[in-house]
Chain A
Amino acid sequence: MPEVKVTTRRRGSPKKETKPTVDTTRIAVVGIPASGKTTYFRFLSGHFGLNLPILYIPSRADNGSLPLYGDLENDVALEETTYETTDPTDPEGSLETTTRYYVNRPMEDRRKLWVELSAGRDEQGILTKYPLPTKFNQFVEMKMRFRYAAPGGEAGSRPMELSTVDEAGGIIADYFTYDRLWLTSAEEEVTEKSCRVIPHFDSWRPDRRDLWKRGLTLLGRFVCGADAIILLLSPGLPSLRDQAQQVNLARGVFRYTHARNLPLVIAISKADKLKEFYTEVEQSVRERTFQSAFDPVDFLLRRDGAGMGTILVAQEGRGISTKEDVFLISSAVSTGEGHPLFIGETGDEAPTSGTATMGVPVMVNTTLPLARACERILQRRATKGS
């Protein structure tokens, strides 16, 4: 993962550096802007490529052994393709793509990796974020390859792909919120007319409107081919508009997955922001023997941990089970001061100042939604006989 290879190619270029995968199962990750999509992908690929450890809260009886594996047949663990409008005045709408590949080899300076990947969005440099300054002229397709083996099931593992459209949380939120935008096939396009369902769309700059329309089309086609969806929800959003956007997205995703009978898994990301959960994390890091008995369902439903109120209750048994399909995760636990929390080789928290110390970021439950999504996909296939 730490080695980054960047190539640039024009739209329509047939060149592709990853090995083609046969019968890959696709899981789409969706969430509003800053819901943690990038971190989720980067740190999960760190887990697959570098065996970064995962902490589980509540503690798991199986000691965290999940049938998820890195894809050893493929050098590329994570692939990010930036779509950028180079000339908004071009009526043909030139769109240039730049692809960055993260491969499964450790970096020489491992500590550098953690710092780069864990930094806050504002502090992230050009290496870890996308090279253009505005979100309105680009979006990024992220694909992470891994394998999943159904526990106790058939021999061997099968290729899976986790994908999202990054830097496009607004597009994702709009697409799912407004079902009048939904495409029914991967050949369709979102029309300018249907885009008017988006508030104030007509008042936007033409190039932004055009990019949004393309992004919606890309996303629409992308989710048309998805076998499951992971919905990332961010708790404790300070802005009421962001809260409304997230709730509308969640309701839209429920509608979407109901309509298509798609498996849905919910990940409450950045769960370390929730005080009760962070307390468990802190104790788990401090005491190696601590067995957390945290009850996520009770927390979510009775203490409103997800800010979803009765929405989750209403969905219970209608495509999701709150007990089995909703997870509190934290892909990069923060110290609370804008720095990632590291644990050293001894298992204690690594100091963030003074002499450079080796440490790994604390990830909590990050793999659980993925494993559950895979499990549900296979269950669904088995039910359908495919």
Chain B
Amino acid sequence: MTSGQRASRRRGLLLVAPALTVLALLTGYPALYVLWLSLQHRIPVFGIAEFAGLAHYWFLAQDPRFWNAAGTTGLFTLASVLLELVLGVLVALALYARPRGRRLGFSLLLLAWAMPAVVTAKLFEWLYHPAAGLVNVVLVGRALNWLGDPVLALPAVILADVWRTMPFVAILAYARLLTIPSELYEAAQVDGASRLGMLRYITLPLLRQILMIAVLFRTLDAVRAFDLMFVLTGGGPANTTETLTVYAYRGLFQMLQLGFGSAIGVIVFVLVMTVAWAYLRLLRREGLAA
């Protein structure tokens, strides 16, 4: 290494040092601290802080409420990501094919995506109002209690989430559609390809990669989701919308068991990182294959 290279390396380290220090303190340290917390009985209001080993994890393994929350997280993630994917692609195709009203539609999509999730929760709480909600008055014709019914509550939450995050998929897919050269379609048309054939053999294969990325981001967000269900249903009725994040929150700040709640937090953490890692591997393999 020449002295010039060494100097340039030193300057680089100097530039990156402040940000890395802050990140280490605000992200790295808490990430390690939560692991340590999850191994403790920690109840600040009673001044309890003692080592518990794997007791919380052992308890969770046999805790039906934990498995119920894990199932709800899984169902919520699967249903909302799948719906967002299908609807997002349809919306992207519709935007692409229709110049008229495109700007309006695009702004509307972005707006739904950019608003606070708490606002979305309030919009849908009002739409789902049993007596005066638009959903019951216009669509159902009778007073269904959407957010209070153990069967309807989770689909109601999923619908609100799909409304809020489908635009993310739609915008990514639309951006990709714009980069497909029109010669491809013209050539296919000359060869007598049908509309469905073009969709099946040109459009969808070219969308594949971007959709995989969109699904990765959406899956991570869905597993981490908290605001919407916490504000809409608080995990109720009868815990039917209680995801792992809501259970963790209740453990932490309603039961005030910081150690126990942290253990659920760690599990969500591991879950998210596993999903991210698996997807990155998949994407890398795709990249090599392409």
A-B complex is real = no
Tell me the B residues contacting A by CB distance below 8 Å.
none
Q: Give the B-binding residues of A (Cβ under 8 A).
A: none
